[in-house]
Amino acid sequence: MLHGKTDTREVAATCRRIAQAVLGGHPLEVRERVSLTIVTARARGPLAAAESKTAFARAVLSNAVSRERLAGHLERVLFTAGAPGFMAEPYDAFGLQRITLDARNDEDALLASARSRSSASRCATSPAPAGNYWDGALVDYHLLLPTRA
């Protein structure tokens, strides 16, 4: 589009074409002894029901009250490949779902990990729960991982 506001569907289609070009029609391959974890955030609660400015405003206000309240709107979903990586168990209110990264979801996981609220990825063809996925920074902007003593 040369003039006016860019359509979000146009942006989403362009991003998908880029992901397809990067993958080259082949599944994402991870070398032996290497671990890859793509951190995403999946909508739940009021945010899962409607992708709207109002739903996001509620999530933002919840986060302003406490980080734990934001967990009512988002859950942590990790797409993993290769050797076991970090975060084996849930450790906070966001929970933890681990999904094996494979040819059915690699493109969607890559897209979700780079998306803002305005263009969620819908993982519908993989073992991942269906829903709207966004970049994991919505939950883990600064990874607050548990530490070992």
Query: Does 18 have pLDDT greater than 90?
Result: no
pLDDT, position 61: 92
pLDDT tier at 119, thresholds 50, 70, 90: very low
Average pLDDT taken over every residue of the chain: 78
Look up residue 89 and give its amino acid. Answer: E
Query: Does 118 have pLDDT greater than 60?
Result: no
- Report field, pTM of the whole predicted structure over 0.85: no
Q: What is the pLDDT of residues 133-145, one digit of tens each?
A: 888 888 887 666 6
Nearest to 27 by CA among 105, 143, 93: 105
First to last CA, the chain: 55
All residues at 6 or more sequence positions from 122 whose CB lies less than 8 Å from its CB, including other chains: 108, 130, 131, 132, 133
